[in-house]
Amino acid sequence: MTVTLDCRICGGTLHEFFDFGRQPLADAFVTPGDASEEFFHRLAVAMCASCTMVQLLEDVPRERMFRTDYPYLSSGSTAMQEHFRATARYFLDRELRDPGDLVVEFGSNDGIMLDTVARAGRRHLGVEPCAGVAQAAAAKGIRVRNAFFEESTAADVAATEGPAKVIYAANTFSHISYVDSVFRGVDALLAPDGVFVFEDPYMADIIERTSFDQIYDEHFYFFTVRSVQAMAAHYGFELVDVEHLPVHGGEIRYTVARPGARTPSPAVARYLELEKVGRITERSTLDRFASNIESLRATLRGLLERCRDEGRSVVGYGATAKSATLTNYCGIGPDLVSFIADSTPAKQGTLSPGSHIPVRSPEAFADPYPDYALLFAWNHAEEIMRKESRFRDRGGRWILYVPEVRVL
Ligand code: DWN
Ligand code: SAH
Ligand code: ZN
């Protein structure tokens, strides 16, 4: 395990602003009765005083996080299916103009984005280290390489497939501490006029909404436009466009190109200004974020303890990776939340990492409905509340905690 003391990107001094203590791996669901020890690490976040990149202090070995049985399936949400269909259409219309143009996606998971590209009969390749989800994509007719994207993989893809017009990564680049190798790989694979596009949770939204549960082992970096611009320049690239997306509680899609290859869009300067005015990278802002995290814990615990003391039943909804940080940091176990309903087959029948709350199928949610449902998958609120509308019809109440604790 590497413990970072200097910025992973520029070598600058890191200022720690929150320590969640010992935390489990957010996607390591526990098999009941399994005697093997759970893996814990110290989850603490810091900002670089020089380039402002927010990053974890400890880097968990990638093979521990992204295993053959990685349980997250991107296609589990219809809203995300629509988001990635639109993303693919955007690439097909705007970037992949020549029939021979290639798009490479790393972190392609079950093929949620590449499915549209493959159905259009266009050249594509997914690079995905987790064999289970990679096989799910391959079963849909998508071309996938079961590997980690890094310099050697990218060089190999360049040699066998030729240059890529688009290199894309959703909720993946921020998961990779070794960005130097990724940028060297992008350099080896990207066509001269190609684009490297990635989208990840936006630190400004995390601060504004106190969505601290986005902080867990897999999320190594927390990007802002300022820190991504500095990172791209550091590795010999240029940030040419940014787009704010509503998915996963607020993300930014960054478009990076070779210097001078594209004219930067005015959105880049606009967001840099917004971040400056919002004082996103100032110590006082991060200190306020830290105290908001502590108050959220107190309020949510207070509410759940009251429910328990009054004999009300509370069930969780969505065994998200995020909920590992929330439950373990807030001390929420099966005494406060009796089980978590989740549609992912591989998570059902297991216990949540660290907090050991049983995970059951969504059918169990209605059998019978609880008094309260704590929505861990708050980023899918609309989709889930629509799907589970009978719960509220029967008098059930949703508990949300982003952007603040409230009962609906
Ligand atoms: O960054 C990451 C994102 C993209 O996915 C990864 N590091 C890991 C994972 O994070 P997460 O687990 O927090 O993602 P979601 O999309 O918030 O997870 C939603 C969970 O809720 C899944 O386990 C599926 C479940 N779900 C459900 O049971 N019924 C979701 C929907 C939409 C539903 O209707
Ligand atoms: N793009 C999908 C999946 C995000 S989950 C979506 O947005 O829903 C993160 C994914 O990144 C996992 O499937 C994980 O296996 C993958 N991943 C992690 N490190 C990677 C690397 N170095 N190269 C390629 N994929 C990686
Ligand atoms: Zn730095």
Q: Is 23 in the pocket of ligand 1 (CB under 6 A)?
A: no
What is the model's pLDDT at position 35? 78
Q: Are residues 45 and 123 in the same domain?
A: no
Query: Domain boundary residue among 278, 304, 329?
Result: 278
List phi, psi (to 5°) of 10: -110, -5
Assigned domain for 58 exists:
no
Note down the domain range covering 130.
74-278
What is the model's pLDDT at position 2? 65
Q: Is 377 in the pocket of ligand 1 (CB under 6 A)?
A: yes
- Residue 197 CA to ligand 2 centre (angstroms): 14
Assigned domain for 165 exists:
yes
As a whole number of angstroms, the distance between CA 377 and CA 383 comes to 10
- Residue 320 CA to ligand 1 centre (angstroms): 5
As a whole number of angstroms, the distance between CA 110 and CA 134 comes to 6
What is the model's pLDDT at position 4? 67
Assigned domain for 60 exists:
no
- Residue 258 CA to ligand 2 centre (angstroms): 24
Q: Is 133 in the pocket of ligand 2 (CB under 6 A)?
A: yes
Q: Are residues 39 and 119 in the same domain?
A: no
- Residue 380 CA to ligand 1 centre (angstroms): 8
Q: Is 330 in the pocket of ligand 2 (CB under 6 A)?
A: no
Assigned domain for 69 exists:
no
Q: Is 388 in the pocket of ligand 1 (CB under 6 A)?
A: no
Largest CA distance in the chain: 65
Q: Are residues 27 and 78 in the same domain?
A: no
Assigned domain for 201 exists:
yes
Residue type, 334: P
Q: Are residues 221 and 314 in the same domain?
A: no
Q: Are residues 274 and 316 in the same domain?
A: no
As a whole number of angstroms, the distance between CA 52 and CA 71 comes to 32
Query: Domain boundary residue among 235, 253, 278?
Result: 278
Q: Is 55 in the pocket of ligand 2 (CB under 6 A)?
A: no
CA dihedral of residues 285, 283, 212, 336 (deg, nearest 10): -90
Could you identify the atom of ligand 2 that is nearest to the CA of residue 62?
Answer: 19
Q: Are 20 and 10 in contact (CB under 8 A)?
A: no
Q: Are residues 106 and 251 in the same domain?
A: yes
What is the model's pLDDT at position 32? 95
As a whole number of angstroms, the distance between CA 388 and CA 58 comes to 38
Assigned domain for 371 exists:
yes
Q: Are residues 94 and 205 in the same domain?
A: yes
Q: Are residues 208 and 334 in the same domain?
A: no
Q: Are residues 305 and 256 in the same domain?
A: no
Among 253, 210, 248, which residue's Cα sits nearest to residue 228?
253
Please report which residue ranges of 243-355 form alpha helices under DSSP H. 266-277, 283-309, 322-330
CATH of residue 398's domain is: 3.40.50.720
> What's the total number of domains in the chain?
3
Q: Are residues 273 and 294 in the same domain?
A: no
Mean pLDDT per block of 10 residues along the chain (408 residues) reads: 82 97 98 92 97 97 98 98 98 97 98 98 98 98 98 98 98 98 98 98 98 98 98 98 98 98 98 98 96 98 98 98 98 98 98 98 97 98 98 98 98
Assigned domain for 61 exists:
no
Q: Are residues 241 and 264 in the same domain?
A: yes
What is the model's pLDDT at position 304? 98
Q: Whose Cα sits closest to atom 11 in ligand 2?
A: 107
Assigned domain for 59 exists:
no
